[in-house]
Amino acid sequence: MARSKPTAPAPVAPPSGLRAAEAADIAMLVEELDAMLSRLRLGAIREQLDGLLEEAAKRQLNLREALAWLCAAEVASKEQRRLSMAMTIARFPFVRTLEGFEFEAQPSIDPGKIRDLATCRWVANGDNVVLLGPPGVGKTHLEVALGREAVARGYTVQFTTAMELLGSLVKGQQQGTLEVRLAQYSKPKLLIVDELGYLPLEPQAGHLFFQLISRRYEQGSVLISSNRPVEEWDEVFGDQVVAAAILDRLMHHSHVVTIRGDSYRLREKRRSGLFRPQAGGSCSSGIGGVPPSTPAKQAS
């Protein structure tokens, strides 16, 4: 079959709105600009239009450059909105950042390890992070700071405490909504569970936590903090077998950061003279120490 000669592409017809616009008075279109920008959900351009156009004129941008300039403003504004929404959804208890963390105050932490974790490669891989240490040494601070890094990189994050999480699962079991709650806590790419081990758990909490950890295993990351060494988690969960099963999954692909040292809060008080150090120079928290090594690899 003879091929037909290629013909020049037909001129693309402008969208009907534009054709109508051709006939219309440009001034009318300009009057509708606000409404069109709203319809296209270009809120930042709409709100800052005068300033942006003035700036574009000042910089003597051509039409294409000006359009790129306007689009950049819209993209930046949308990204800002996404970030602030994701931060709200994450439900962090307060704002803490890595820049605000004084590494000199906690020499047992390797800043390089934390900066490496801040790249969130572990979140991309579905690995877990376990933060161990006595109260006041910055576990929650680091959880929030790392959680914010994950949000900034586009991951979904949810912050909760062990009490809140396990209380919700126990309630779910009692009310027949366990499945919904497990699904809810399985959804975020990173689930942060703060303060495991501070308060006694319900007898069935260990089983329920195991179910959640199994669901998330190799799918989504868990960042968990505890004041109790992992060797004591059977006491925390009140069941050796369940604790071993939880640790098996949690620690398989995990980075463990063990913090030793004084409470930052007490250190601040001591600095201001409100707190007197104990004999020996340390203002110990009185909580048992964390073992020097754990079964999982240390964060690198």
What is the maximal distance between C-alpha atoms in the chain?
A: 100
Q: Does residue 135 interact with ligand ADP by CB under 6 A?
A: yes
Closest distance of CB 140 from Mg ion, Å: 3
What is the Cβ-side half-sphere exposure of residue 54, based on CA atoms within 13 angstroms?
A: 4
Stretch binding ligand ADP (CB under 6 A), from 51-59, 99-107, 111-119, 239-247: 99-107
Task: Note whether 235 and 76 are within 8 A (CB).
Answer: no
Window 125 to 154, contacts with Mg ion (CB under 5 A): 139-140
Euclidean distance between CA atoms 198 and 50, whole angstroms: 56
Three-state DSSP class for 258? strand
End-to-end C-alpha distance for the chain, whole angstroms: 66
- Minimum CB distance to ligand ADP smaller for 207 or for 267: 267
Euclidean distance between CA atoms 190 and 145, whole angstroms: 13
Which element (helix H / strand E) includes 300?
A: none
Task: Note whether 259 and 106 are within 8 A (CB).
Answer: yes
- Minimum CB distance to ligand ADP smaller for 56 or for 257: 257
Give the one residue of 29, 47, 87, 101 binding ligand ADP; rule: CB under 6 A: 101
Nearest Cα to Cα of residue 131 among 242, 257, 31, 247: 257
Number of residues that bind ligand ADP (CB under 6 A): 16
Q: Does residue 96 interact with ligand ADP by CB under 6 A?
A: yes
- Minimum CB distance to ligand ADP smaller for 217 or for 264: 264
What is the Cβ-side half-sphere exposure of residue 268, based on CA atoms within 13 angstroms?
A: 7
Q: Does residue 148 interact with ligand ADP by CB under 6 A?
A: no
Backbone angles phi, psi at 15, to 5 degrees: -55, 150
Stretch binding ligand ADP (CB under 6 A), from 139-147, 163-171, 204-212, 291-299: 139-147
Q: Find the residue with minimal CB distance to ligand ADP.
A: 138
Partner from ligand ADP, Mg ion, none binding residue 101, C-beta < 5-8 Å depending on class: ligand ADP
- Minimum CB distance to ligand ADP smaller for 145 or for 245: 145
Closest distance of CB 30 from ligand ADP, Å: 52
For the record, the structure tokens of 260 come out as: 């030793």
Give the one residue of 52, 137, 223, 283 binding ligand ADP; rule: CB under 6 A: 137
Task: Note whether 197 and 162 are within 8 A (CB).
Answer: yes
Site map (CB under 6 A) of ligand ADP, residues 231-270, x = contact: ---------------------------------xx-----
Q: Does residue 136 interact with ligand ADP by CB under 6 A?
A: yes
Euclidean distance between CA atoms 263 and 224, whole angstroms: 19
Binding residues (CB under 6 A) for ligand ADP: these are 96, 100-102, 105-106, 133, 135-141, 264-265
